[in-house]
Amino acid sequence: MIMDKVKILQYCNEFSKNTLMETLKIEFIDAGEDFLVAKMPVNSAVHQPMGLLHGGASVALAESVGSAASHFFIDAKNQEVRGIEISANHLKSIREGIVFGTARVIHKGKSIHLWEIKITDEAGNLISLCKLTNMVLTKENK
């Protein structure tokens, strides 16, 4: 990554304003050379009808953190990222608290990035395991 951790987190949190990430209260909290971490509160706003964390909210967290992480491996002036595939295995349920999505790069190519995103609870229990594929595109309107 080319920026320092504080700048990375400020950038990610700033570009999340007025988006689904803000609606879900996703906040980027940690970054490193090959990972990015965001957190999301678990409450009724992200529940499914049985009062559990909705799988779609977990996937939204996973895609948000994985897509944001890809931005630090591209030339943002001339390139952009698009998520092209995501898969998720929901392994444990949670009713309240906070979940953390940690994206770690599996493959960093010129045109494809592959991320593993682990969603864990506050105790470190694995809630969901996701895999995200991002395509790197050349910007048409620079």
Q: Which band of pLDDT confidence, cut at 50, 70 and 90, is reported for residue 83?
A: very high
CA 23 to chain centre: 14
How far apart are alpha carbons 94 and 126 in whole angstroms? 10
pLDDT average, residue stretch 61-71:
96
| Distance between CA atoms of residues 124 and 13, nearest Å | 23
pLDDT tens-place string over residues 43-57:
999 999 999 999 999
pLDDT at 123: 98
Provide the token pair at 121. 């609870």
H helices present in 1-139, as ranges: 5-15, 20-23, 55-70
Give the span between the Cα atoms of 119 and 68, in whole angstroms.
16
Q: Which of 79, 82, 68, 6 minimizes the C-alpha distance to 35?
A: 68
CA torsion through residues 42, 44, 45, 51, sign: positive
Q: What is the pLDDT of residue 3?
A: 62
List the catalytic residue out of 14, 22, 27, 63: 63
DSSP state of 55: H
Helix (H) or strand (E) holding 30: strand 27-31
What's the whole-model pTM score?
Answer: 0.93
Q: 118: which strand partners? A: 102, 129
Active site residue 63: yes
